[in-house]
Amino acid sequence: MKPQPITIIGGGLVGALASMFFAKRGFDVTVLERRGDMRKAKVEAGRSINLALTSRGLKALTEVGLADEALKLAIPARGRMLHDAEGNTTFVPYGQKDDEVIYSISRGELNKLLLSKAGEYDNVTMRFNQKLEACDIDNGQYQFLDTEANQSHTVDAPVTVATDGAWSAVRKTMLSTVQNFNYAQSFEAHGYKELTIPAGPNGEYQIEKEALHIWPRASFMLMALPNLGGSFTVTLYLAYEGVQSFAALDSKEAVQAFFEKEFPDATALMPDLAEQFFANPTGALATIRCAPWRVGGKVMLLGDASHAIVPFFGQGMNSGFEDCSALGELLDSESDWATLFEKLEAERKPNAEAIADLALENFVEMRDTVADAKFQLKKEIGFELEKRYPGQFIPRYAMVVFHPEIPYAEAKRRGDEQEIVLNELSRGISSLHQVNWELADQLMQQHRAA
Amino acid sequence: MKPQPITIIGGGLVGALASMFFAKRGFDVTVLERRGDMRKAKVEAGRSINLALTSRGLKALTEVGLADEALKLAIPARGRMLHDAEGNTTFVPYGQKDDEVIYSISRGELNKLLLSKAGEYDNVTMRFNQKLEACDIDNGQYQFLDTEANQSHTVDAPVTVATDGAWSAVRKTMLSTVQNFNYAQSFEAHGYKELTIPAGPNGEYQIEKEALHIWPRASFMLMALPNLGGSFTVTLYLAYEGVQSFAALDSKEAVQAFFEKEFPDATALMPDLAEQFFANPTGALATIRCAPWRVGGKVMLLGDASHAIVPFFGQGMNSGFEDCSALGELLDSESDWATLFEKLEAERKPNAEAIADLALENFVEMRDTVADAKFQLKKEIGFELEKRYPGQFIPRYAMVVFHPEIPYAEAKRRGDEQEIVLNELSRGISSLHQVNWELADQLMQQHRAA
């Protein structure tokens, strides 16, 4: 594609990254962001403080030369640390290889890094405090309110990438102006609340540092990811209504009692639990799907704006970064915006659908089956099959998280097939030694044939 | 419920009917309608000119004493008349009983009847040309533009029923103001175009009057329903894009050639086919789902506003009228709006979901399998099972269309179970005489046990 001016609406993680995919190819890029410059201000607290950075996100960061710097901000987690109701722990590794780890990273710090690095390009202009007020997509005219100057102005933006997040204002315009626009926003019956386990008196991590901690309790769960500096961000996922619910936790006493009963070890590390609980907002969990993602060659939605998902596979940011990788490849091969946007949607939409479904399924796995003996056995059989049939059998989790060369849609399809094998091999047995490996051979041959 | 002022936004079929359910119980009702009074003006042409009125709709009309008058505007259709590509026809009855018919009725004439009858109640006020501009649902304040006077005014409406249709303005406000509002609008790849077969020279019907005519062509179809006065409203359902599509019908010659090849008998009856084709709009087919349908005891969406469906089961209006029946029952038993609205949604939402799914399934049946020998055989076996197991086996179509005492959700569930029986009994045979009735006995016993 011949370099020309590009407008990016939204300077969050995906918008900041996308700007560099354009800038390094010689495009002049203007990024307009609703909030102030987060490099100068404090990040809003209480929502999605840290994220899991995994191979698909790292691949995109590598393409703009930022993977190493991003990893300096991150802490590896080598597996899940399961906490039972008595405070006993079991460690379950994510994979069998040393590099099969995920990285806990601060959303704010990573976003600042991306903005700083984007700002180093001469051909990237960033404008903050720009609230989108109206879009005339057909004519490429976008009206913004400069919230500092309190003045409206119109931006001429014939080619626009909208990375303005799950509640995208550009998508909202498309919802009311694009004929036959398919749209769905679907909320879970669970919300979430972020809390903090502080660092110990000497700045030490009070629970295992290199792990994603889970307190699975079937209908709800607690999770914790490490931060730089010794603290953990803890997230409670809980139904809004019912016996065990946010509605029932209506007093400090109720919160304290609930946590002490369900998560005694975590509770002991949060002396100000009840204060935190009522100071922090309760977040909602939504899946957003739409089609088309674009209007001709004029505007294209990417990242959460076109495919917001629930966080249970840690792939929201990673899938948005993968959008940028795909965009980069098409910028090198296409010469027409309408075709480029069409191909980008054709490539990314099935994968966005797949990871949306996988993330919903993983919520059940994390809060429920992860603590189950059958689940553990199937995990062990999966690892053994991976050793015996290298390249042919790759556990579903590994395909999604450690194998960016396997698209999400393929990972879902292969994972569904493998699940049949795992169910067959684990039927009626209770340990890995009892597996019928001849049957495994047969099943894997059928699998190969299919 | 103690009578009190009620506001109804939208004076279409469902709004006009709902007003009478309130009025006959002593409520003061104000109906505000965006369009002019259709009793005085010409109805917009080219869209949904006629509808199928069936038992659920008739039940609701009976409850306000209007069934007989409505039926005077209607023409019974006793079955489907299938037209093949050579113009040969086959008649397939809807049911085995004399009263198992559907009624073709003009949307406009029925709407006018409902408005006239609602207007006869002293406690119903109707205001036309009232365009909803803004809703403050929490405070029960709705701002309307009087499009005749070109003046805005605010209506105090603490208890509101919104029957403002598939593109409901009230629902749009809920989408942006109600927390965790679930919403999906999903369009088919097919659009539709309405055409007319005129009455013959002496006002006669040029094809069988008492039938729903179908020209099933697998990926597309033509349909015709009789009007009073001898004409038929014909609807083409066709993909937007592809080899056989609206996009391909880009000239009068292309339209004429396509119709002559696919629907020769119908084409012969439409001398001005190509003119009609380009004069009439192409309509879209959408399914709309949302939740919740209400905000506390303040406002409730009913009819298409909460559950717009595709027309292939002829149940859009009927399901909306059934909403009114359910509303009426709850008005007699409840004393609190929040509870009434909650119960109404709990009762109607699963049925709205079921008929939305059934209508989508029926599109495939109508355009594709209806002309298939296997489908015909299963239909015959179903009728025979209905005779042999009265009350226990009722064909799915009959449950939906002729049995209002069976909720849509139950009809869908039982229909799915029965489909297994029909598939089993029709396997490997080609006529009713070959059915293994002992197997049928076994299957029906299993069915009863389940």
Report the pLDDT value the prediction gives residue A125, as an integer from 0 to 100: 98
Q: What are phi and psi of A309, to 5 degrees?
A: -130, 165
Give contacts of A186 with chain B, Cβ < 8 Å.
182, 184
pLDDT tens for each residue of B109-158? 999 999 999 999 999 999 999 999 999 999 999 999 999 999 999 999 99
What is the pLDDT of chain B when averaged over all its residues?
A: 95
Which pLDDT score is estimated for A96?
81
| A241/B contact by beta carbon, under 8 A | no
In this complex, the residue of B181, B185, B284 whose CB is nearest that of residue A183 is B185
Spatial distance between the Cα atoms of B238 and B240, rounded to a whole number of angstroms: 6
Q: What is the pLDDT of residues B70-89, one digit of tens each?
A: 999 999 999 999 999 999 99
Question: What are the angstrom distances between the C-alpha of A174 and each of A210, A346, B146?
Answer: 43, 18, 28
pLDDT band, residue B302 (cuts 50/70/90): very high
Quick one: pLDDT band at residue B46, thresholds 50, 70, 90?
Answer: very low
Residue A184 C-alpha, separation from nearest chain B C-alpha, in angstroms: 4
Chain B within 8 Å of A284 (Cβ-Cβ)? yes
Cα(B425)–Cα(B256) distance, rounded to whole angstroms?
43
Distances in whole angstroms, Cα of residue A35 to Cα of each of A10, A112, A131: 9, 13, 8
**Which of B25, B12, B13 lies closest to B327, judged by CA?**
B25
Q: In the structure encoding, which two tokens stand for residue A176, read together?
A: 């009311």
pLDDT at B445: 87
Structure tokens belonging to residue A158: 């014939």
The model's pTM is 0.92
Q: Is B151 on the interface with A (CB under 8 A)?
A: no
Which chain B positions have a beta carbon within 8 Å of A286's beta carbon? 180
Record: contact A182-B179, CB cut-off 8 A:
no
Shortest distance between the Cα of A187 and any Cα of chain B, in A, equals 6
For chain A, list residues with pLDDT below 70: 42-48, 370-371, 448-450
SS3 (DSSP) at B345: helix
Nearest Cα residue in chain B from A184:
B184
Tokens, residue B208: 């069988």
CA distance B180 to chain A (A): 6
Distance CA A9, CA B258 (A): 45
Residue B395 vs residues A49, A387, B210, B384, B422: alpha-carbon distances, Å: 56, 53, 21, 10, 10
Q: Which residues of chain B have a CB within 8 Å of the CB of A283?
A: none
Whether B186 has its CB under 8 Å from any CB of chain A: the answer is yes
Interface A-B: count of C-beta contacts within 8 A: 30
What ipTM was predicted for this assembly? 0.89
Backbone φ/ψ region at A13: left (φ over 0), alpha (ψ -120 to 50), beta: alpha
> Residue A83: which of A362, A371, A368 has the closest Cα?
A371
Query: Residue B198: how many CA atoms within 13 Å on its side-chain side?
Result: 10
**Best residue in A168, A171, A187, A353 to probe B by mutation, most B CBs within 10 Å?**
A187
B184, B240, B286 member nearest A184 (Cβ): B184
For residue B340, give the nearest of B307, B302, B296, B304 by alpha carbon.
B296
Name which of A180, A181, A284 is nearest B180 (Cβ-Cβ): A284
- pLDDT, tens digit, 9 for 90 and up, residues B257-284: 999 999 999 999 999 999 999 999 999 9
In the structure encoding, which two tokens stand for residue A394, read together?
Answer: 């790759």
Measured between beta carbons, the chain A residues lying within 8 angstroms of B184 are 183-186
The pLDDT tens digits for A418-431 are 999 999 999 999 99
Residue type for position A326: A
Residue of A167, A174, A181, A183 to mutate, testing the B interface (most B Cβ within 10 Å of its Cβ):
A183
In the structure, what pLDDT confidence band is assigned to residue B16 with cuts at 50, 70 and 90?
very high
Q: Which residue of A has its CA nearest to B184?
A: A184
Q: What is the structure's pLDDT at B372?
A: 80
Pick A187's closest partner by Cβ from B182, B185, B240: B182
| Nearest Cβ partner for B182 among A180, A185, A240 | A185
Q: Where does the pLDDT of residue B40 fall: very low under 50, low under 70, confident under 90, or very high at 90 and above? A: confident
* Residues B186, A186: C-beta atoms closer than 8 Å: no
Any chain A CB within 8 A of the CB of B179?
yes
| Helix ranges, B178-272 (H) | 252-262, 264-267
Residues B368-406 have pLDDT tens digits of 776 688 888 999 999 999 999 999 999 999 999 999 999
Give the best residue of A176, A186, A289, A360 to mutate against chain B (max B CB count within 10 A). A186
Please tell me which of the candidates A182, A184, A187 has its beta carbon nearest to residue B180.
A187
* Minimal CA separation from A173 to chain B, in Å: 13
Contact between chains at B183 and A185 (C-beta distance less than 8 A): yes
pLDDT tier at B43, thresholds 50, 70, 90: low
User: A187–B185: do the CB atoms touch at under 8 Å?
Assistant: no
Query: Is B284 touching A (CB cutoff 8 A)?
Result: yes
Instruction: Please judge whether A183 and B184 are an interchain contact, meaning their C-beta atoms are less than 8 angstroms apart.
Output: yes
Which residues on chain B are in Cβ contact (under 8 Å) with A182? Answer: 185-187
Candidates A185, A287, A353: best to mutate against B (most CBs of B within 10 A) is A185
B187 touches chain A (CB under 8 A): yes
Instruction: Report residue B167's pLDDT band, with 50, 70 and 90 as the boundaries.
Output: very high
